[in-house]
Amino acid sequence: MSEPESTFLIIGVGNLYRSDDAVGILIARKLKGMVLDRVSVKEQSGEGTSLMEAWKGFGRVLIVDAASSGASPGSVHCLDASREPIPSKFFSCSTHNFGVAEAIELARTLNQLPGHLQLFGIEGKNFQPGEMLSAEVEQAMELVVGEILQTISSLS
Protein backbone atom coordinates (compact mmCIF):
# COMPACT_ATOMS: atom_id res chain seq x y z
CA MET A 1 0.00 0.00 0.00
CA SER A 2 1.44 3.39 -0.93
CA GLU A 3 1.96 6.19 1.58
CA PRO A 4 -0.97 8.66 1.68
CA GLU A 5 -0.21 12.07 0.20
CA SER A 6 -1.14 13.51 3.58
CA THR A 7 0.95 12.53 6.56
CA PHE A 8 -1.45 13.74 9.24
CA LEU A 9 -5.10 12.76 9.60
CA ILE A 10 -7.72 14.60 11.62
CA ILE A 11 -10.97 12.73 12.28
CA GLY A 12 -13.97 14.64 13.60
CA VAL A 13 -16.47 12.31 15.26
CA GLY A 14 -20.08 12.99 16.12
CA ASN A 15 -23.71 13.38 15.21
CA LEU A 16 -24.88 16.75 13.85
CA TYR A 17 -28.39 16.19 15.23
CA ARG A 18 -27.53 15.47 18.88
CA SER A 19 -26.52 18.95 20.11
CA ASP A 20 -23.03 18.86 21.71
CA ASP A 21 -22.27 15.50 20.08
CA ALA A 22 -21.71 17.48 16.84
CA VAL A 23 -18.58 19.23 18.08
CA GLY A 24 -16.06 16.82 16.52
CA ILE A 25 -17.64 17.10 13.08
CA LEU A 26 -17.94 20.89 13.35
CA ILE A 27 -14.24 21.15 14.22
CA ALA A 28 -13.38 18.88 11.27
CA ARG A 29 -15.41 21.10 8.93
CA LYS A 30 -13.73 24.22 10.24
CA LEU A 31 -10.28 22.70 9.71
CA LYS A 32 -11.27 21.33 6.29
CA GLY A 33 -12.00 24.90 5.22
CA MET A 34 -8.39 25.92 5.91
CA VAL A 35 -5.52 25.10 3.60
CA LEU A 36 -3.46 22.69 5.66
CA ASP A 37 -0.43 21.23 3.92
CA ARG A 38 -0.15 17.42 4.11
CA VAL A 39 -3.21 17.14 6.37
CA SER A 40 -6.33 15.10 5.58
CA VAL A 41 -9.58 15.75 7.41
CA LYS A 42 -12.39 13.19 7.65
CA GLU A 43 -15.78 13.07 9.34
CA GLN A 44 -16.98 9.91 11.08
CA SER A 45 -20.08 8.88 13.00
CA GLY A 46 -17.91 7.17 15.61
CA GLU A 47 -18.60 3.58 14.58
CA GLY A 48 -15.46 1.70 15.59
CA THR A 49 -14.65 -0.37 12.52
CA SER A 50 -15.07 2.68 10.26
CA LEU A 51 -12.62 4.60 12.44
CA MET A 52 -10.06 1.81 12.24
CA GLU A 53 -10.43 1.75 8.45
CA ALA A 54 -10.18 5.56 8.20
CA TRP A 55 -6.80 5.79 9.93
CA LYS A 56 -5.14 2.94 8.02
CA GLY A 57 -1.90 4.09 6.41
CA PHE A 58 -1.52 7.21 8.56
CA GLY A 59 1.27 7.49 11.12
CA ARG A 60 -0.15 10.54 12.88
CA VAL A 61 -3.85 10.72 13.71
CA LEU A 62 -5.84 13.16 15.80
CA ILE A 63 -9.44 12.37 16.75
CA VAL A 64 -11.88 14.97 18.10
CA ASP A 65 -15.10 13.87 19.79
CA ALA A 66 -17.55 14.92 22.47
CA ALA A 67 -16.88 13.40 25.88
CA SER A 68 -19.10 12.54 28.82
CA SER A 69 -16.84 11.83 31.79
CA GLY A 70 -18.60 13.87 34.43
CA ALA A 71 -16.22 16.85 34.16
CA SER A 72 -17.53 20.39 33.70
CA PRO A 73 -19.13 21.10 30.31
CA GLY A 74 -16.58 22.56 27.91
CA SER A 75 -13.63 20.88 29.64
CA VAL A 76 -11.04 19.71 27.13
CA HIS A 77 -9.40 16.32 27.59
CA CYS A 78 -6.27 15.61 25.60
CA LEU A 79 -5.14 11.99 25.65
CA ASP A 80 -2.21 10.29 23.98
CA ALA A 81 -4.03 7.15 22.91
CA SER A 82 -0.85 5.66 21.48
CA ARG A 83 0.56 5.50 25.03
CA GLU A 84 -2.39 5.07 27.38
CA PRO A 85 -5.66 3.11 27.36
CA ILE A 86 -8.85 5.08 26.79
CA PRO A 87 -11.64 4.32 29.29
CA SER A 88 -14.76 3.31 27.34
CA LYS A 89 -17.06 5.22 29.72
CA PHE A 90 -15.21 8.43 28.79
CA PHE A 91 -16.97 8.56 25.42
CA SER A 92 -20.26 7.06 26.53
CA CYS A 93 -22.24 9.80 24.76
CA SER A 94 -21.87 7.85 21.51
CA THR A 95 -24.85 5.89 20.26
CA HIS A 96 -22.46 3.11 19.19
CA ASN A 97 -21.67 0.11 21.39
CA PHE A 98 -18.36 -0.19 19.55
CA GLY A 99 -17.19 3.40 19.43
CA VAL A 100 -14.02 5.48 19.63
CA ALA A 101 -12.55 4.05 22.84
CA GLU A 102 -13.36 0.46 21.87
CA ALA A 103 -11.86 0.94 18.37
CA ILE A 104 -8.66 2.32 19.86
CA GLU A 105 -8.32 -0.52 22.33
CA LEU A 106 -9.08 -3.20 19.71
CA ALA A 107 -6.54 -1.63 17.33
CA ARG A 108 -4.00 -1.60 20.18
CA THR A 109 -4.63 -5.33 20.79
CA LEU A 110 -4.33 -6.09 17.06
CA ASN A 111 -1.20 -3.96 16.73
CA GLN A 112 -3.00 -1.65 14.28
CA LEU A 113 -2.79 1.67 16.11
CA PRO A 114 -1.18 4.55 14.25
CA GLY A 115 2.28 5.39 15.61
CA HIS A 116 0.90 8.60 17.11
CA LEU A 117 -2.79 8.83 18.05
CA GLN A 118 -3.98 11.88 19.95
CA LEU A 119 -7.53 12.24 21.19
CA PHE A 120 -9.29 15.49 22.06
CA GLY A 121 -12.50 15.03 24.03
CA ILE A 122 -14.69 18.05 24.66
CA GLU A 123 -16.98 17.55 27.61
CA GLY A 124 -20.57 17.94 26.45
CA LYS A 125 -23.53 19.31 28.34
CA ASN A 126 -26.50 18.43 26.12
CA PHE A 127 -26.80 15.31 23.95
CA GLN A 128 -30.53 15.60 23.27
CA PRO A 129 -31.85 15.93 19.71
CA GLY A 130 -31.05 19.37 18.35
CA GLU A 131 -28.57 21.29 16.24
CA MET A 132 -27.22 23.86 18.73
CA LEU A 133 -24.04 23.55 20.75
CA SER A 134 -24.11 24.64 24.37
CA ALA A 135 -22.15 27.85 25.01
CA GLU A 136 -19.46 25.97 26.96
CA VAL A 137 -18.85 23.51 24.13
CA GLU A 138 -18.83 26.24 21.49
CA GLN A 139 -16.18 28.13 23.46
CA ALA A 140 -14.09 24.97 23.90
CA MET A 141 -14.39 24.29 20.16
CA GLU A 142 -12.42 27.46 19.37
CA LEU A 143 -9.75 26.50 21.89
CA VAL A 144 -9.36 23.01 20.42
CA VAL A 145 -9.12 24.34 16.84
CA GLY A 146 -6.25 26.56 18.03
CA GLU A 147 -4.53 23.64 19.77
CA ILE A 148 -4.85 21.44 16.68
CA LEU A 149 -3.40 24.15 14.44
CA GLN A 150 -0.52 24.56 16.89
CA THR A 151 0.07 20.78 16.90
CA ILE A 152 0.13 20.69 13.09
CA SER A 153 2.52 23.64 12.82
CA SER A 154 4.91 22.08 15.35
CA LEU A 155 5.17 19.01 13.09
CA SER A 156 6.01 20.99 9.95
pLDDT tens by residue, 82-130: 888 887 666 655 555 678 888 898 999 999 999 999 999 999 999 999 9
Model pTM? Answer: 0.89
Helices and strands of the chain, counted as H and E runs: 4, 5
User: So what CATH class is 8-155?
Assistant: alpha beta
Digit-coded pLDDT (tens) for 126-153? 999 999 999 999 999 999 999 999 988 8
**Residue 42: its H or E element:** strand 39-44
- Measured at the CA of 28, the angle between CA 110 and CA 19, to 5 degrees, comes to 100
At 5, the pLDDT band (50, 70, 90 cuts) reads: low
At 2, the pLDDT band (50, 70, 90 cuts) reads: very low
Report how far residue 121's alpha carbon sits from residue 155's, in angstroms, rounded to the nearest whole number. 21
pLDDT at residue 65 in the model: 94
Report how far residue 94's alpha carbon sits from residue 65's, in angstroms, rounded to the nearest whole number. 9
Of the chain, the percentage scoring pLDDT greater than 70 comes to 88
Mean pLDDT of the chain: 88
